[in-house]
Amino acid sequence: MTPKLHGITEPLEAALIYAELGLAVVPIRKGTKQPPMKAWQKEATQDPEKIRQWWSRWPDSGVGVVTGEKSGGLAVIDLDEHPEDNRRGVELLQTWEKENGRLPETWTATTGSGGRHLFFKLRGSMKRQQHLYDYQVDFQTDGALVILPPTIHAKTGRPYKWDIAPDQRPLAVYDDQAAAFIDEGYLEARGSGSGPRFEAQKEVTAGGRTDYLFRMLSSLQAKGLTDAAIRAAVSAENDSVCVPPLSDQELEREVFPALQRFEKGTLSGGSGQKQAKSKAPLSLDLVSLGNVPEERPDWLIPGYIPRYQITTLAGDGGSGKTTVWCNIAAAVSSGRPCFIEHGETVQREPGTVMFFSAEDSLKYTLVRRLRKNGADLSRIISLDISDERFQAVKFNSDFL
Contact 260, 143 (CB under 8 A): yes
DSSP secondary structure of 133-191: HHHTEEEE-TT-EEEETTPBPTTT-PBPEEEE-TTTSPPEE--HHHHHHHHHHHHHHHH
DSSP secondary structure of 175-241: -HHHHHHHHHHHHHHHHHT-SPP----S-EETTTHHHHHHHHHHHHHHTT--HHHHHHHHHHHHHHH
- Asked if 153 and 227 sit in the same domain, the reply is no
Q: What is the pLDDT of residue 83?
A: 73
Q: What is the pLDDT of residue 129?
A: 72
The CATH number of residue 79's host domain is 3.30.2250
Closest CA to 144 of 163, 158, 122, 127: 127
Give domain status of residue 174, yes or no.
yes
3-state secondary structure of 42: helix
Give domain status of residue 270, yes or no.
no
Q: What is the pLDDT of residue 271?
A: 33
Give domain status of residue 279, yes or no.
no
- Asked if 343 and 368 sit in the same domain, the reply is yes
- Asked if 117 and 243 sit in the same domain, the reply is no
Q: What is the pLDDT of residue 221?
A: 79
Give domain status of residue 277, yes or no.
no
Give domain status of residue 80, yes or no.
yes
- Asked if 161 and 41 sit in the same domain, the reply is yes
Query: Domain span at residue 379?
Result: 297-392
Question: 380-381 and 353-354: which strand pairing?
Answer: parallel
Domain total in the chain: 3
Last residue of a domain, one of 192, 226, 244: 192
Give domain status of residue 272, yes or no.
no
Q: What is the pLDDT of residue 269?
A: 35
- Asked if 158 and 216 sit in the same domain, the reply is no
Q: What is the Cα 136 distance to its own chain's centre?
A: 16
- Asked if 250 and 368 sit in the same domain, the reply is no
- Asked if 56 and 77 sit in the same domain, the reply is yes
Q: What is the pLDDT of residue 282?
A: 55
Count, residues in the chain: 400
Q: Measured between alpha carbons, how far is 155 from 153 in angstroms, rounded to an integer?
A: 6
Q: What is the pLDDT of residue 279?
A: 43
Q: Measured between alpha carbons, how far is 322 from 313 in angstroms, rounded to an integer?
A: 10
- Asked if 308 and 385 sit in the same domain, the reply is yes
- Asked if 387 and 315 sit in the same domain, the reply is yes
Q: What is the pLDDT of residue 281?
A: 55
For 263-307, the three-class secondary structure string (H helix, E strand, C coil) is CCCCCCCCCCCCCCCCCCCCCCCCCCHHHCCCCCCCEEECCCEEC
Tens place of pLDDT per residue across the chain (400 aa)? 667 888 899 999 999 999 999 999 999 999 999 999 989 999 999 999 999 999 999 999 999 999 999 999 999 999 998 777 677 899 999 999 998 899 999 999 999 999 999 999 987 777 677 778 877 898 998 889 999 999 999 889 999 999 999 999 999 999 889 988 987 886 665 544 444 456 677 788 876 788 788 888 887 877 777 888 888 889 988 988 888 899 998 898 888 887 876 666 544 333 333 333 334 455 677 889 988 888 888 888 888 899 878 888 888 767 788 889 999 999 999 998 988 887 666 778 899 998 888 777 787 788 998 999 999 999 999 877 666 566 556 655 555 5
Contact 75, 107 (CB under 8 A): no
- Asked if 43 and 174 sit in the same domain, the reply is yes
Last residue of a domain, one of 132, 163, 192: 192
CB-based contacts of 215: which residues, under 8 Å, 6+ apart? Answer: 196, 197, 198
Give domain status of residue 198, yes or no.
no
Q: Measured between alpha carbons, how far is 63 from 202 in angstroms, rounded to an integer?
A: 42
- Asked if 93 and 143 sit in the same domain, the reply is yes
Q: What is the pLDDT of residue 280?
A: 47
Give domain status of residue 1, yes or no.
no
- Asked if 49 and 105 sit in the same domain, the reply is yes
Contact 112, 153 (CB under 8 A): yes
Q: What is the pLDDT of residue 277?
A: 38
Last residue of a domain, one of 138, 161, 192: 192
C-beta atoms surrounding 224 within 10 Å: 14
